[in-house]
Amino acid sequence: MAAEDTIFALATAQGKAGVAVVRLSGPQSVQVLEALGASAPKPRATRLVHLRDRDGGLLDHALVLHFAEGASFTGEAVIELHLHGSVAVVRAVLRAIEGTGLARQAEAGEFTRRALMNDRLDLTQVQGLGDMIEADTEVQRRHALRVFSGEMAERVTAWRNAILRAAALVEATIDFADEDVPVDVAPEVMELLEGVAADLRHEVSGAAVASRIRSGFEVALVGPPNVGKSSLINALTRSEAAIVSDIAGTTRDVIEVRLDLDGLPVTILDMAGLRDSSDPIERMGIDRAVKRATAADIRVFLMEVDEDWDERVALQEGDLRVRAKVDLYGGEGISAVSGAGIPEFLQALSERLQQRVATAGLVTADRHVELYRLAMVELDGLDADQIREAPELFSEVLRKVACDLRQVIGGVDTEAILGEIFASFCIGK
Ligand code: GDP
């Protein structure tokens, strides 16, 4: 492992807390602790120590954890200092660590970058970890944890293995073309490749939903002025089913309210400006609102009686039509005033979104979706006749697809790919 600087940073959130954790990573981690007047416990053990500044002044009583090189999050020697979680304690300890001259402040994401460089995590896990830290809702947590646990990397590895096995089978026909090697490998090769292509197709078509799990599903309230959109938003934010985590008015035309709906991250959009107007500036704003509503995951068309909805926004599959102000007009629907129908309305929204979540893939990064899409196109372009007609070309395409897919997990290592082809070849025989 290359000699690195030793880095340190507060690993827990800023501010008052019972405990604050400062993490050190790098070859000098233990020496930093010693420079603070304490000795490290054995790896994976803990010790209660007194941390002191250069003049011997007591900084804090801290619980110390020690992870040896090769057995830590970063792959380097790691010391964790569990301090009393006050702003002043943390500041004093960080200053004392810096004062040892043995370590420097970590840059953003540097611990994780080291974990990646030292093969403690692959690229997909880094992304899963980032999403897990950002997760506000239960569905986001579960999705991020699957990626962090390596499920995406496992899928990619399984596809690569299938592709490399197919390549090895095709190569066997080249090597033994003149000999008496029987079998038509085409059925097995095509079955392997069709399986991978089907999985890729599923992932690519589920990528948009996976992205929504990360960023939130958008539900647009559409209807004429005064139908009760703002009142509904107010009623939703008071409702127990929906915990508001964020309220932001991004533009004059759209008001956004973020809800946790049965674990789903949902942003309700109030198209505040949707009405006929002769003012060109306002009309531009309305056009933007219409585009936003059209792009949302679900539109809720609110109406007082059974009038037609706003035709500027087209009805799409899965949209809801809801009658408002039922306290005045009676019948089925919702009332922002009495609260009637609101739980049923939320239930209907939740069910529609849960159905979409069921189709989600794991992949969200645009770069990965593009890699999957390209691999799918390459595989779809192959057919069984080509195995006989141009086996070299056929296996060359497969090697390239396997190599490209590897980029999802991390670095590209041709040697490893060749090794795998060889291993697969032997096993396959
Ligand atoms: P928006 O323009 O669609 O956002 O409509 P508002 O939420 O501002 O409501 C317009 C008017 O309708 C206000 O006077 C509200 O108090 C009233 N309103 C909204 N919802 C209801 C409802 O469920 N029942 C009754 N009776 N009045 C409502």
- Per the structure block, which two tokens stand in for 111? 């611990």
CA distances in angstroms from 38 to 26, 52, 61, listed in the order given: 18, 8, 10
Q: Which of 221, 222, 226 to mutate to test the pocket of ligand 1 (most atoms within 8 A of CB)?
A: 226
Q: 207-221: buried (b, 16+ CB within 10 Å) or exposed (e) per residue?
A: bebbbbbbebbbbbb
* Residue found by looking up tokens 């970058």 in the block: 113
Residue 309: what pLDDT? 65
- For the chain, residues with pLDDT lower than 70 are 1-3, 175-183, 239-253, 272-275, 306-310, 411-429
CB atoms within 10 A of CB 7: 21
Ligand 1 site residues, Cβ closer than 6 angstroms: 223, 225-231, 324-325, 327-328, 335-337
Residue 36: what pLDDT? 98
Query: Measuring from atom 27 of ligand 1, which residue has the nearest CA?
Result: 325
Nearest CA-CA partner of 231 in 328, 336, 107: 336
Residue 246: what pLDDT? 42
Q: What is the pTM of this model?
A: 0.83
- Per the structure block, which two tokens stand in for 219? 């539900």
